[in-house]
Homo-oligomer: A and B are copies of this chain.
């Protein structure tokens, strides 16, 4: 083709205009930028004719349920934090991280949604016709619901992220998949838990609830009843189809904005109780008072640049849109700022769609790279005014000695820097 380099040169020149607001381009300026590959149209058409691609053969399977291109190889990976178990190991903590470096928009494809399990990559193989959800405890009438029962009730559809509390970064990760890949976002559909609790006649003495999934360790955790009556969702749908087995088929409890571990997969039982119950999943909360624990369940405001990010390569100086994701357990994202000079100056980024509550929000910032070494960062603020902290602030909060690459001992929503080298390579700025 030979046009690639020329096209880049054109982009490079126009980059300044783009960064300046997309308005400075006009016919006069433009003619000065005319590139040598503006060949006559009939030559281009001849060029086009040579490009007819081979075909993907139609099959019954591809008609019924399509697949991605074999050229697209984006995939999840066993996460370093829990990746010691092999896919066929059973009974070990196992984490599978989303390839955020390839993400576009805010939906994570269900096939690429992150997974955390307590027994390798094995998941229950549940027959939805046999599965029921029981609600009991401090209710007037305990009830069980089949999946079909739930689908008859008023439904809600909401975009929500889930994030594993262990989604931490320091200087050791090479890519954003390793540093931030334990969060994903999907369109969830189901019945509000409050609808079900009202059907069962929730007693006023109920102050907490415990959820149980169909797995040995049950996945149970105590949660405040106020959260149940606010926005918890018993989800049977995910991105327009049934919840996937790795994400809890046929039912997953969504607890928007809370740590991932509360989003109980393969949900089969909810018990309303009058006190905080400790259980398997409380290893991170044991030392806290019930009230402190409840407040600590919520994921803080967090953002990360996904493009360019660690392991990617800039193709020379010029225009690049810096793109990333922001989310918070505190509600919708209000604003995102990006710094392209290591944190000295912060610039307002563009929010790409109307931010949803407890959902990934895509942001973009137009950047004209001058070819010099630098560091790019993002930080966000949510609708209740919480701002994502710097790593220095997080260290101060935990009262630990600060070092760029230290490991945050608790939930880590600190700012992530990516270093851009002169050759355009992108690496972890904490390394």
Shortest Cβ distance from residue A104 to the other chain B in the assembled complex, whole angstroms? 3
Shortest Cβ distance from residue A114 to the other chain B in the assembled complex, whole angstroms? 10
Shortest Cβ distance from residue A238 to the other chain B in the assembled complex, whole angstroms? 9
Q: Provided the pairs A87-B59, A141-B33, A187-B105 are in contact, do residues A201 and B44 lie with their beta carbons within 8 angstroms? A: no
A residues contacting B by CB (< 8 A) are: 1, 3-4, 7-8, 10-11, 14, 18, 22, 25-27, 30-31, 33-35, 37-39, 41, 44, 48, 51-60, 62-72, 74-78, 87-90, 94, 96, 102-113, 115, 120-132, 134, 136-137, 140-146, 148-149, 151-158, 187-189, 195, 198-201, 203, 212, 214, 216, 236-237, 239-242, 244-247, 249-250, 266, 268-269, 271, 307, 315, 318-321, 323, 350, 352-354, 362, 364, 366
Shortest Cβ distance from residue A308 to the other chain B in the assembled complex, whole angstroms? 10
Q: Provided the pairs A144-B3, A187-B106 are in contact, do residues A130 and B62 lie with their beta carbons within 8 angstroms? A: no
The answer to whether B155 and A352 have CB atoms under 8 Å apart is yes
Shortest Cβ distance from residue A111 to the other chain B in the assembled complex, whole angstroms? 5
Q: Provided the pairs A69-B242, A104-B237, A195-B22 are in contact, do residues A76 and B56 lie with their beta carbons within 8 angstroms? A: no
Q: Provided the pairs A71-B127, A112-B240, A154-B18 are in contact, do residues A132 and B187 lie with their beta carbons within 8 angstroms? A: no
- When distances are taken between beta carbons in the complex, the residues of chain B under 8 Å from A148 are 315
The answer to whether B104 and A189 have CB atoms under 8 Å apart is yes
The answer to whether A201 and B104 have CB atoms under 8 Å apart is no
- When distances are taken between beta carbons in the complex, the residues of chain B under 8 Å from A237 are 104-105
Besides A31-B141, A104-B240, A148-B315, 19 more A-B contacts (Cβ < 8 Å) are A8-B149, A10-B141, A14-B199, A30-B141, A51-B130, A54-B124, A58-B89, A62-B246, A64-B77, A66-B111, A66-B113, A68-B242, A69-B125, A105-B187, A105-B239, A107-B107, A108-B240, A152-B318, A155-B362
**A214 and chain B: residue at smallest CB distance:** B53
The answer to whether A105 and B240 have CB atoms under 8 Å apart is yes
The answer to whether A111 and B65 have CB atoms under 8 Å apart is yes
**A29 and chain B: residue at smallest CB distance:** B201
Q: CA of A133 to CA of B383 in the docked complex: distance in angstroms?
A: 40
Shortest Cβ distance from residue A86 to the other chain B in the assembled complex, whole angstroms? 8
